[in-house]
Structure 1
Amino acid sequence: MRYLFLLFLIFSFSACAQFNKPKEVKYLENKALENATTKEEICPPETDSLLAEQKEQPQENLEEEVVANPEDKDANLLPQEEDVLAKEDTLNFELDLYETKELKLYFKYYTHSKRKIFVRWLERAQAYLPFIRKVFKEQGLPEDLIFLPFAESGFNPWAYSRAGAAGLWQFMPYTAKKYGLRVDWWIDERRDPYKSTYAAAEMLKELYAEFGDWYLALAAYNAGPGKIRQALKKSKEDNFFDLCSNKKNRRYLRLETRHYVPKFLAILKIVRHLEELGFEPLNWEETPTQAKLSIPPSTDLLAFAQALGWNWNRFREHNPFVRRMVSPPDGEITVYLPQEKVELARQFLEKEKKSYAGFIRYKVRSGDSLWTISRRYGVPIAVLKKINDLKNNLLHPNTLLIIPRGDRESEENVLASVRTSAQKRANYEVKAGDTLWSISRQFKVSVKTLKIANGLTSSRLSIGQKLYIPDLGGQQTRLAREEVKKFHQGQLVRYQVRRGDNLWTIAKRFGVSWKQIALWNNLSSDSILRPGDTLKIYVP
């Protein structure tokens, strides 16, 4: 209905498209740290068979259970659960388990109504906990903190928040860079479970050094140290629970932050008593060691994966931080492999012959410019110049460029393919006075179906234009839908617009183009974005 309403506005006012706020949905909650700032290809014929490998690594949906504010709807606790909740555990840092209403609610939430979700988190955590425990021990941090990713991401390295925080530890881009992680068009080390763990350890140490209290340090990890400093100053309190229990002080912290510490304490209570609560115990044996291998600049990573006997998705299971099928041209990166794959990897890297599976070879045509090629393939001009060793912006016809492939086809080229196919089977010619709405009523199909079947991104029609009118339930319509869906491949993030945002700054934050964001959300370049609006972004 929102889609049709938008069409109505367009026809009624003949103005530029306005962005209407979509229906509220639940997302992984904001990680608003202090000062946080907030394609790609036309496959040549020989690489058509690789399309299936270009899909974004399958991942768990962003679970609302990470950020839920549970209500007291669950059944009463069982006697053994009451016993666990009442136990005074020996904690690994000065953190008494304050008995709060919120702690009990989260305890019931994860042991009752969302028990299956918590079981999935435990299974997911198994791959990372031994490593995290080793790092935190080396860094002199309390062992209890190794369970913090349960509260942050459910131990999902692919998790994105609606504000753009990412990874197990939910770093914002600015904060990630502050702690030595690389976040750019090529790679996103927030999604590197190993490097991001060292960054999280460093950040937690700094927060504890500032506040001298783990409750406040944890609250600062969630809200940002500036928010906690300000709240303490205004409330004149000196500890987390007095800050949250006094109703007058609650306005200084968001509900998410006030509940963050009790939620984490409830998770600690559960993981310390898994067997008593009927969960499978954690296996603390070291997981198989991942070998680290240095990859030279501009390495064809798709060909590298194929040399290991893997497809692209399998490679990214081990290396979720990689965003492109080519390694960055400005330096080496480290990838992770099972030990048994190291020899194959070295043999590939020692080959002298240049491979191009991860590149597109493009011959410059008359009228081309770096800007048009950049727009067509979703690759920044600076990247095109760097990878092709171009000293200026001049291009000559017939010059051969190599363009790094991303994880999904350029939306413009997919739509062009759909339009070509629609023209071949066109069965209707647009007449004077026709609109998509009138045609949809005439043939009893939806406007959305007409646009999908014909690769249309706007509702404008011209007299004499050929259209394909599909049968609503027909196979051709389904095929058309699948074609258009290709440019949506990637990890869907629901981003909530903040004050000062525009399409360009949001695109830069997520490593996509502003035109992609506009297309995904039916926006124009001059559409108005308002704080609180929600945008769909498909992150590579």
Structure 2
Amino acid sequence: MQLNRCLPFLVLFVLSLWGGDLLAVPSSAPESWGERTVSPSLQLPQSIRQQNEAAVPALETVPGRLQPADVSSLLSADDVAAGEGADDAEENEDLLTLVDPEAIEEALILTEDETSPPEDEGATIAVTELQFDFPVVENQKVQYYIDYFTGPGRNVFSRWLERSPRYLPYMQEVFAAEGLPRDLVYLSIVESGLNPKAYSWAHASGPWQFIPSTGKIFGLEADYWWDERRDFEKSTYAAARFLKELYGVFNGNWYLAVAAYNAGPGAVARAIERSGSSDFWMISHNLHLPLETRNYVPKLLAVLLIAKQPGKYGFTDTQFLEPIACDTVTVEGPVDLAVVARLADSSYGEIKALNPELKRWCTPPKQQNYQINLPLGTKDDFLAAYAELPATQRRDYKVHKLAKGETLKGLAKQYRLSVNDILRANSLSTAKAVKVGRNLAIPLRAGVEVIPREDLLDDPVVSKIAKSRSYKVKKGDTLSKIARNSGATLAQLKSWNRLTDRSRLQIGQVLRVGPGKKAAQSSTAKAKTTTKKAGSQIAKKPASSAGKKIVHKVKKGDTVYGIARQYAVNPAQVLSWNNLGSEHILQPGQNLTVRVQNRKGG
């Protein structure tokens, strides 16, 4: 059966497994779509509802989704069949030294944990003076993110603008061909900053941040050697089809479709049912949607408004990248990229940049006919040189998984190399760093080009490295117990890990239990260097321990939102200070702790 014919069923099936989001899928398994999560107000077609109901029994036996602790090397190549299941713990340690400072900076801006947008968006006005094919409005929330991206996030946003002409024109053609608004491609900036190597703690990858299971549903393959989610062409087609499905599910409401791309349609459907409204801004007034999702649509609108008129916001010296122009050829069997670069009179770095889906130093060994991009104008010379190159000269390396009882000295003897040759090939300084189960690149001949270290390891979860400490859930653990032991509040754990009161912990699940040293350093530096733009509403959230402590006695009719407005703080802060969940119901007479800097009035 062709994918497009079974797409509605497949989409609804995979979405029922989430209840979470593409960018930040909750670690614990949520309730399925089938558990009364589809509101009658969505008016799903009867045929789709029947398909969904038929799929529900099967969901009972579906194991938990991929957890951050489940990262493994999926080696599929013939010459590395014995290397499956590499030692990820050691590789993850190596990743800490590989993360580019710019990547960390972008991750912090994309996740924007230090922001505090207004809960009330105020008057919402349609934008008419600019031409969009996507509904664009202005309000206080949108303005907040305009100020944020043009203030603290200016340097990062400038990089996103520089990348946009390299990728967006092609993306727009794909979206137009699929009947989607061209302006909707700017959602990829909110997702990844147009960084093909963007990789989240939930294992979402590429410009459109697909998680592995969803990527596979839409035909995007990924293993040890390659990841089609990082391919701009293939992932953009997949994103277009997915957004098109969401648009249909939510009855032609683009804001709800976009919110569902982030939080998952199950979460959006529940929010609609609980709030009694299908208006995104009305739903955002309560805590039915995750905080990230409530800010997701305003961020997209802010990106659109800035990108359409960058000069108005001071982006006048942006060095725009040229659109990608390349030749494409088909190679037979695995070929090392260093060999491709030599034959194309190019560089390893340029070949990698033109083929972001390639995670390693070689084309996927099991793909016998693989299309690879070359610098424009090099196709004929490459094909001529490639035809003359013996098949035995197309590979510079093979992979060997170190088995129990093996030593580097023994490997060196086996492959007629020195121990130093193996260490050098794997960017290692000592044999003590090599543990059983590690995948080692073995040079096939002397004098081959050294593989860049980042191509020996899995993608770094930049946001996790930049911001988090982690804890692996053990048998008998509860969220309250983990919170006590880690020194965090229950509300903080839920916020950091996108958990709800109905989330269930799983043994082996990895939770973020603290902001991490780097995040603290980054926040401190940001506070020292950021200058506040005139008229900007941006203000750093006060620490939970700062300010004057006030005890507020709940009265009849009080809400968390109303109390927060009374004391000029964030509702999320009120919840955090009092260890309350997002669905907690206030009771008259209940005492709440509120911390304020400068209380005005009563």
TM-score by length of structure 2 reads 0.52
2:146 aligned to which of 107, 112, 123: 107
The residue that corresponds to 1:415 in the other structure is 430
1:140 aligned to which of 165, 169, 179: 179
The residue that corresponds to 2:169 in the other structure is 130
The residue that corresponds to 1:221 in the other structure is 261
Partner Cα distance (1:407, 1:195) in 2: 36
**1:414-448 deviation per Cα after TM superposition (whole angstroms, max 9, x unaligned):** 431xx5xxxxxxxxxxxxxxxxxxxxxxxxxxxxx
The residue that corresponds to 2:191 in the other structure is 152
Letter in 1 for 2:203: G
What displacement does 1:106 show? Answer: 0.4
Partner Cα distance (2:455, 2:351) in 1: 21
The residue that corresponds to 1:441 in the other structure is none
The residue that corresponds to 1:334 in the other structure is 371
Partner Cα distance (1:486, 1:168) in 2: 19
What displacement does 1:374 show? Answer: 12
Question: Structure 1 residues 168 and 288, CA, compared in 2 at 3 Å: closer, same or farther?
Answer: closer
What displacement does 1:201 show? Answer: 1.0
**1:377-408 deviation per Cα after TM superposition (whole angstroms, max 9, x unaligned):** 9xxxxxxxxxxxxxxxxxxx9799xxxx9999
What displacement does 1:493 show? Answer: 1.8
Show the 5 A alignment for 1:433-444. none
Partner Cα distance (2:458, 2:363) in 1: 19
**Structure 2, unaligned runs of 5 or more:** 1-21, 28-32, 34-63, 68-72, 80-96, 118-124, 436-452, 476-506, 517-602
Show the 5 A alignment for 1:31-430. 37-38=66-67, 60-62=102-104, 63=106, 64-68=108-112, 71=115, 87-89=127-129, 92-93=132-133, 95-99=135-139, 101-211=140-250, 212-245=252-285, 247=286, 250=287, 252-280=288-316, 287=323, 289-331=325-367, 332-351=369-388, 353-356=390-393, 358-360=395-397, 372=403, 409-410=425-426, 414-416=429-431
Report if the CA contact (8 A) 2:136-2:301 is conserved.
Answer: no
Query: Percent of counterpart pairs with the same letter?
Result: 30
Partner-residue secondary structure (3-state), 1:336: strand
What displacement does 1:267 show? Answer: 1.1
**1:478-506 deviation per Cα after TM superposition (whole angstroms, max 9, x unaligned):** xxxxxxx999977532557698899xxxx
Letter in 1 for 2:103: N
Partner Cα distance (1:58, 1:91) in 2: 37
Partner Cα distance (1:406, 1:229) in 2: 54
Report if the CA contact (8 A) 2:132-2:183 is conserved.
Answer: yes
The residue that corresponds to 1:30 in the other structure is 24
Partner-residue secondary structure (3-state), 2:203: coil
Partner Cα distance (2:356, 2:423) in 1: 12
Question: Structure 1 residues 215 and 109, CA, compared in 2 at 3 Å: closer, same or farther?
Answer: same
Number of matched residues?
A: 364
Greater mean alpha carbon deviation, residues 322-331 or residues 275-284: 275-284
Partner Cα distance (2:405, 2:207) in 1: 32
Report if the CA contact (8 A) 1:157-1:167 is conserved.
Answer: yes
Partner-residue secondary structure (3-state), 1:276: helix
**1:219-242 deviation per Cα after TM superposition (whole angstroms, max 9, x unaligned):** 011111222122222333222111
Report if the CA contact (8 A) 2:109-2:153 is conserved.
Answer: yes
Question: Structure 1 residues 292 and 398, CA, compared in 2 at 3 Å: closer, same or farther?
Answer: same
Partner Cα distance (1:102, 1:407) in 2: 53
Greater mean alpha carbon deviation, residues 234-243 or residues 350-359: 350-359
Question: Structure 1 residues 161 and 103, CA, compared in 2 at 3 Å: closer, same or farther?
Answer: same
Partner Cα distance (2:422, 2:289) in 1: 40
Partner-residue secondary structure (3-state), 2:323: coil
What displacement does 1:108 show? Answer: 0.7
What displacement does 1:32 show? Answer: 5.7
Question: Structure 1 residues 137 and 373, CA, compared in 2 at 3 Å: closer, same or farther?
Answer: farther
Partner Cα distance (1:58, 1:65) in 2: 15
TM-score by length of structure 1 reads 0.57
Greater mean alpha carbon deviation, residues 132-141 or residues 344-353: 344-353
What displacement does 1:341 show? Answer: 1.5
Report if the CA contact (8 A) 1:409-1:486 is conserved.
Answer: no
Partner Cα distance (2:513, 2:395) in 1: 36
Letter in 1 for 2:109: E
Partner-residue secondary structure (3-state), 1:117: helix
Partner-residue secondary structure (3-state), 1:146: helix
Partner Cα distance (1:234, 1:375) in 2: 60
The residue that corresponds to 1:493 in the other structure is 461
What displacement does 1:310 show? Answer: 3.0
What displacement does 1:297 show? Answer: 2.4
**1:334-382 deviation per Cα after TM superposition (whole angstroms, max 9, x unaligned):** 22222212123212432351244644369xxxxxx977199989xxxxx
Letter in 2 for 1:172: I
Partner Cα distance (2:156, 2:253) in 1: 31
Question: Structure 1 residues 32 and 209, CA, compared in 2 at 3 Å: closer, same or farther?
Answer: farther
Partner Cα distance (1:173, 1:407) in 2: 32
What displacement does 1:206 show? Answer: 0.9
Partner Cα distance (1:319, 1:406) in 2: 27
Partner Cα distance (1:154, 1:409) in 2: 32
The residue that corresponds to 1:511 in the other structure is none
What displacement does 1:330 show? Answer: 2.5
What displacement does 1:200 show? Answer: 1.1
Partner Cα distance (2:154, 2:415) in 1: 59
What displacement does 1:164 show? Answer: 1.6
Partner Cα distance (1:299, 1:277) in 2: 46
Partner Cα distance (1:172, 1:197) in 2: 14
Letter in 1 for 2:388: K
